[in-house]
Chains A and B, each alone.
Chain A
Amino acid sequence: MYDIVIIGAGIVGTMLARDLSGYRLRLALVDRENDIANGATMANSAIIHTGYDPEDGTMKARMNVRGARMYEKICQDLGCLRKVVGAYVAACGEDEEKTLAVLKQRADEREIENVYLSGDEARSQEPNLGDEVTKVLSFPTTAVVYPWEIAIACAETAVNNGADLMLNTEVRDIARTENGYILHTDHGDVETRYVIDAAGTGAGKIARMVCEDPGFTIQPRKGEYFVLDHQVEYVKHIVFPVPGVKGKGVLAVPTVYGNTLLGPTSDPVQALDDTSTTFKGLDSVRADLNKTMKNVPYRYVIRNFAGLRPSGSTHDFVIRECEEAPGFIFAACVESPGLASAPAISEYIINEILSRSLTLEKDPDAVMTRKRPLVMAELTDEERAEVIRENPAYGRIICRCEQISEGEIVDAIHRTCGAHTVKGVKKRVRPGMGRCQGGFCEPRVLDILARELGVSPLDIVLDSKASRILESENR
């Protein structure tokens, strides 16, 4: 019997798991996927928005402004990357400048640092900004992170504090009991007093297992992106167009590792798992980007991908206890700025919802921090020499493009919440993130996984349990 089961190991679920693991609670984090952070957390713009965009009075505004301010400490505590790059919202012409004025007013009211730049001033900083851009609202404190790194670090902290992580576990139905709920999963029943529904695109389906009308439906919107190799530094700041009806528009984002993201589109889709890219979507990224940017070096594209935002019919986050089902808490419809808001959503659920009916007693043994894994690229020459002397595997480079050593990969496999798939290794230590996209290192990573996990290479998968890479041993 758990005190709390969190459904969904994305940024919201893992953030909650970490925060709750600081209390004396029996916790479980359940996800149908084969790894942490495999949904929206894996495929988004990776931005900690400062909070000027959501309209007054919304949960989005409240959570975003608060959450963004929590990230610096969270990233310090968890040993995660966070890079303050600043954001430009670029207006073309008078009409759009009017929208900028609205954003500026909101930002001022919310005490978010901002400054106007003329088009030319902005172009002197950001030479690839389009010539039609007339005015820019600059937000110097906007940061980028590696979203799945934070989710994995949160899950790791929670599990080290005693939480159970159940991957590949799909909740099929939920039944009420006298003092809580039974989750019927494809891996058996799980009993709990409280349930937190942080299931992303699946949140609506989960909600309907306990209540006929949760007051929202999930209407996912797909976002398609290009990724540029870090060989080219295309932008220094995040460049946004002026936000429109479809959201924040198509951006150019410098990521923490120096790649550039171009996207996303914003198209409603029916299927809750439709993350396919399309010619139409990718074409529209190119077309829309032309509005704010120029000289886009598409020859450096190394990947395209699509993610689903778990957008809701409410157009706002749904963070509340279900009226019909006490102890069942929604953390739903967390579309953008969900990443930036996640710490605040967790804090709100704990302080404003759970604490009303649950005694929260701090666990003095809980460790809320995490040591950053050893990253060779971040060490001095002396430090590197020393770690290689101690363990020569740190001197064996497996990923040529990103220069990741065998030692780092082995570490990622054996850590708490470690990698057991090729993509899991890629998410944690980045072999395959470079220009050759794993053409060189994938066979080597697969080999290391098989060796370290003590299984046949035939059993190593790319991502999901059924995503086998090798068919058979050759005669």
Chain B
Amino acid sequence: MRHYQAVIIGGGSAGLSAAVTLKENGIEDILVLEKDAEAGGILQQCIHNGFGLQTFKEQLSGPAYAERFIRKAEELNVSVLCGTMVTGLNDRREVTYVNPEEGYVTVSADVVILAVGCYERSRGAVEIPGERPAGIYTAGQAQRYLNIDGYLTGKNVFILGSGDIGLIMARRMTLEGAKVYGVAELMPYSNGLPRNIKQCLEDFGIPLYLSHTVTHVYGKDRLERIEVSKVGKDLKPIPGTEMYFDVDTLLLSVGLIPENHLADEAGILMDVRTKGPVVDDNYMTSVPGIFACGNGLHVHDLVDFVTLEAARSALGAVRWLKGTQTADKVYKASAGQGVSYVVPGRINASCDHRVDFFFRVRQNFETAQITMKSGDKVLRTLKKKKLMPSVMEQLPLTEKMLGELEGDITIEVTEA
């Protein structure tokens, strides 16, 4: 069995960033496995601008952002195996992959980094009743048809869910001559970034129906019509509020789910909140030597944070390889009131480096009071304006605070 120092599963933004960081830190023998024909992951179909403001301080398109990392990986001689699907992973860090050239191959590694990305929630998962005609797509699927394959999926469009891909597609399809009738969002707040609401909906006069959902789909062959209803506080449709739109296309932008079947197969402990693995301060999962980062760990708002997190996970892997840390005692980090999840979810008591938590709030906050506690002790409080579920928040656990840990960590947010 061929052995590597590191195998990275996924050659998208997370995988490439992790590979580059590993290389820069002296890990030479790396294999990146990418299922698509080229590296870059989902960025390749995101031809709009807005990537890289944090990382490069400039606005890049998705492919341009990817290109920078692909080039860097090339310069560093990272081997990226494209057209290669990983089909198996076990807790001994053995990875099985398949491609047309080599067939099924199993390799082993000192460290495995899961940079597997996420998939879109489907119609079935959100329970939209009605017929099952053609013309219903996930937003990313329609984006692929348009931006990669060069086909428009329809002329009269409605979008369910205010996720960012849906918002981007509202603008994109409008620019390509389609009529977008509106975006319905089940929650009373948007799930997309404020800048996308502004630039993709408001600037084009596309209505956003908050607290609304699609309650029926009509059409035997191709989609003909949808029923949209207002929902109550219980998120159930309110009878009598039905609106009808005669559309041939319904895009679903109703959430992204970390791709977790490999992690499951390896017996990795999963976080029910993020639907990704539980990781520690090194981004290591419950299986020693297997690390996770990017949208396969938790769904990010900006690719820049994926890049950042993947680099951190690579540094974590390097640290673990050097064996500078012992896993004696572990503090859990979890979401308190007002918070939907916290990553990383575990901090080793022997951790000697600053940890930056990513978290998301459950609802909109005008002026938020953020509190980080360890046991009963308050480690830090701060006030911050305008927190919303669509935007990831960060909070550092500094080296100084590490010395003050008394118990499990919670982050909570309340209205100040």
Residue ranges of A at the interface with B (Cβ–Cβ < 8 Å): 227, 231, 273, 275-279, 281-282, 301-305, 381, 384-385, 388-389, 392-397, 400-401, 403, 435-440, 442-443, 447, 457-458, 461-475
Residues of B within 8 A of A447 (CB): 149
Residue ranges of B at the interface with A (Cβ–Cβ < 8 Å): 35, 83, 85, 87, 98-104, 119-120, 122-125, 127, 129-135, 138, 140-141, 144-146, 148-155, 176, 215-217, 220-222, 237, 248-249, 259, 261, 264
A393 touches B124 (CB 8 A): no
Least CB distance, B41 to chain A, in whole angstroms: 12
Among B85, B145, B146, point to the contact of A397 (Cβ < 8 A). B85
Q: A396-B99, A439-B138 are in contact. Are A303 and B119 (CB under 8 A)?
A: no
B131 touches A403 (CB 8 A): no
Write the chain B residue with the least CB distance to A403. B87
Among B100, B146, B248, B259, point to the contact of A392 (Cβ < 8 A). B100
Q: A384-B103, A385-B104 are in contact. Are A471 and B154 (CB under 8 A)?
A: yes
Among B99, B104, B140, B145, point to the contact of A381 (Cβ < 8 A). B104
Residues of B within 8 A of A393 (CB): 100
Least CB distance, A335 to chain B, in whole angstroms: 22
Whole-angstrom CA separation of A466 from B98 in the bound complex: 37
A282 touches B129 (CB 8 A): yes
Whole-angstrom CA separation of A397 from B84 in the bound complex: 8
Q: Give the interface centre of A281, A393, A464 by most chain B CB atoms within 10 Å.
A: A464
Least CB distance, B169 to chain A, in whole angstroms: 13
Residues of B within 8 A of A389 (CB): 103
The 7 closest A-B pairs by CB, nearest first: A392-B100, A303-B124, A466-B221, A437-B122, A462-B134, A397-B85, A467-B134
Residues of A within 8 A of B215 (CB): 279
Chain B contact surface mostly: mixed
Among A275, A282, A396, A473, point to the contact of B127 (Cβ < 8 A). A282
Among B103, B122, B221, point to the contact of A303 (Cβ < 8 A). B122
Residues of A within 8 A of B153 (CB): 469-471
Q: 9 other contacts beyond A395-B98, A470-B151, with CB at 8 A cut-off?
A: A273-B220, A301-B127, A384-B104, A437-B125, A457-B149, A461-B134, A470-B145, A471-B153, A475-B176
Whole-angstrom CA separation of A467 from B101 in the bound complex: 36
Least CB distance, A55 to chain B, in whole angstroms: 34
Whole-angstrom CA separation of A388 from B150 in the bound complex: 31
Can you report 17 residue pairs joining A to B where beta carbons are below 8 Å apart? A275-B131, A275-B132, A276-B129, A276-B131, A276-B217, A305-B132, A392-B101, A395-B104, A400-B35, A435-B122, A436-B120, A458-B151, A467-B222, A469-B134, A469-B135, A469-B153, A471-B248
Residues of A within 8 A of B152 (CB): 470-474
Q: Give the interface centre of B85, B148, B151, B153 by most chain A CB atoms within 10 Å.
A: B151
Residues of B within 8 A of A467 (CB): 133-134, 221-222
B140 touches A277 (CB 8 A): no
Least CB distance, B135 to chain A, in whole angstroms: 8
Residues of B within 8 A of A471 (CB): 151-155, 248-249
Least CB distance, B166 to chain A, in whole angstroms: 13
Least CB distance, B217 to chain A, in whole angstroms: 8
Write the chain A residue with the least CB distance to B218. A276
Residues of A within 8 A of B176 (CB): 474-475
A304 touches B127 (CB 8 A): yes
Residues of B within 8 A of A466 (CB): 220-222
Q: Give the interface centre of A302, A443, A458, A466 by most chain B CB atoms within 10 Å.
A: A443
B141 touches A474 (CB 8 A): no
Least CB distance, A426 to chain B, in whole angstroms: 12
Whole-angstrom CA separation of A249 from B222 in the bound complex: 32
Whole-angstrom CA separation of A438 from B138 in the bound complex: 9
Residues of B within 8 A of A468 (CB): 134, 222
Least CB distance, B71 to chain A, in whole angstroms: 26
